[in-house]
Structure 1
Amino acid sequence: MMAALSLLAACGLPRSGPNKSEIFDGAVERGGNTQVIYVNDHVTRASAFAPSYGFSNSFRNAGQVGADEIRAGDVLGLSIWENVDDGLLTSLGDSSTALTEIQVDSEGFIFVPYAGRVRAAGNTPDQLRLQITERLSAQTPDPQVTVQRVAGDGATVSVVGRVGAQGVYPIERPTRSLSAMLARAGGVAIEPEVAVVTVKRGNDSGRIWLADLYSSPGNDIALRPGDLILVEEDQRTFTALGALGGQTRVPLGNEVISAAEAIAMVGGLTSLLADPTGVFVLRDEPESVASRVLGKPVIGSQRFAYVLDLTRPNGLFLARDFVIRDGDTVYVTEAPYVQWQKTLGAVTGSAATADSLTSITE
Structure 2
Amino acid sequence: MTEVSFSTHPGSMAGFRPRFLTSRVARVAILGAVLLVSACGLPRSGPTKGQIISGSVEKGGSTHIVHVDDRVNRAANYSPAYGFSSDFRAAGQVGADEVRPGDVLGLSIWENVDDGLLASMGQSSTQLQQLQVDSQGYIFVPYAGRIRAAGNSPDELRRIITQKLESQTPDPQVMVTRVAGDGATVSVMGKVNAQGVFPIERPTRTLSSMLSKAGGVSIEPEVAVVTVKRGNSSGKVWLRDLYSNARNDIALRPGDVILVEEDERSFTALGALGGQTKVPLGNDQINAIEAVAMVGGLSTTLADPKGVFVLRDEPQSVARAVLGRNDIYGNQRVAYVLDLTRPDGMFLARDFVIRDGDTVYVTEAPFVQWQKTLSAILTPVTQLGTADGAFR
Q: Secondary structure at the match of 2:121?
A: coil
Give the Cα separation in 2 of the matches to 1:350 and 1:106. Answer: 86
Kindly tell me: are residues 168 and 251 of structure 1, through their superposed partners in 2, closer, same or farther at Cα, counting changes over 3 Å?
same
User: Which residue in 2 is equivalent to 1:314?
Assistant: 344
1:320/1:2 Cα in 2 relative to 1: closer, same or farther (>3 Å)?
farther
Alignment partner, residue 231 of structure 1: 260
Aligned 1:131-280 pairs, distance under 5 A? 131-280=160-309
Q: Find the aligned partners of 1:295 and 1:86 in 2 and give their Cα distance.
A: 89
The Cα offsets for residues 81-118 of structure 1, whole Å up to 9 and x where unpaired, read as: 11222222111111111111111111111121222221
Shift of 1:139: 2.2
CA distance in 1, matches of 2:270, 2:374: 25
Is 1:95 aligned to 2:95, yes or no? no
Match of 1:35 among 54, 64, 73: 64
Contact in 2 for aligned 1:78/1:99 (Cα 8 Å): yes
Unpaired segments ≥5 residues, structure 1:
none
In 1: Cα distance, 2:58 partner to 2:356 partner: 27
Write the distance in 1 (CA, Å) between the matches of 2:115 and 2:137.
31
Contact 1:151/1:172 (8 A) holds in 2: no
The code of the aligned residue for 1:101 comes to: Q
Within 5 Å, which residues of 2 pair with 1:325-344? 325-344=355-374
Bigger mean CA offset, 36-45 vs 158-167: 158-167
Corresponding residue of 2:331: 301
- Whether 1:113 and 2:124 are equivalent positions in the alignment is no
Of 182-191 and 274-283, more deviation after overlay is shown by 182-191
Pick closer, same or farther for the CA change 1:336–1:6 going to 2, 3 Å: farther
1:345 paired to 2:356:
no
When structure 1 is superposed on structure 2, of 63-72 and 180-189 the one drifting more is: 180-189
Q: Secondary structure at the match of 1:206?
A: strand
Displacement after TM superposition at 1:354 (Å): 5.6
- 1:286 positional shift: 0.9
Q: Which amino acid aligns with 2:377?
A: V
Q: TM-score, normalised by structure 2?
A: 0.88
Q: What SS class does the counterpart of residue 368 from structure 2 fall into?
A: helix
Distance 1:88 1:106 in 2: 28
Aligned equivalents of 1:100, 1:353: Cα separation in 2: 96
* Residue 93 of structure 2 corresponds to residue 67 of structure 1: no
Identity score, percent: 70
Q: Given residue 342 of structure 1, which amino acid in structure 2 is its aligned partner?
A: K
Contact 2:33 2:380 in 1 (8 A): no
Structure 1 residue matching 2:66: 3-state secondary structure: strand
The offset of 1:356, in angstroms, is 6.6
SS of the aligned residue for 1:245 comes to coil
Contact 1:155 1:171 in 2 (8 A): yes
* Structure 1 range deviating more: 325-334 or 307-316: 307-316
| Separation of aligned partners in 2, 1:109 and 1:344 | 89
Distance in 1 between the 2:35 and 2:263 partners? 49
Count of equivalent residues: 362
Contact 1:69-1:124 within 8 A present in 2 as well: yes
- Secondary structure of the residue aligned to 2:379 is helix
Separation of aligned partners in 2, 1:262 and 1:10: 36
Check conservation: 1:9, 1:343, Cα contact below 8 A: no
Comparing 344-353 with 47-56, greater Cα deviation is found at 344-353
Residues 230-255 of structure 1: per-residue CA shift (max 9 Å, x gap)? 11111110100001001011111111
Contact 2:302 2:364 in 1 (8 A): yes
Provide the rounded CA distance (Å) in 2 between the counterparts of 1:111 and 1:354: 103
Counterpart residue number, 1:84: 113
Distance 2:294 2:157 in 1: 63
Structure-2 separation of matches of 1:128 and 1:267: 68
SS in 1 for 2:350: helix
**Aligned letter for 1:327?**
G
CA distance in 2, matches of 1:27, 1:336: 20
The AA in structure 1 aligned to 2:350 is R
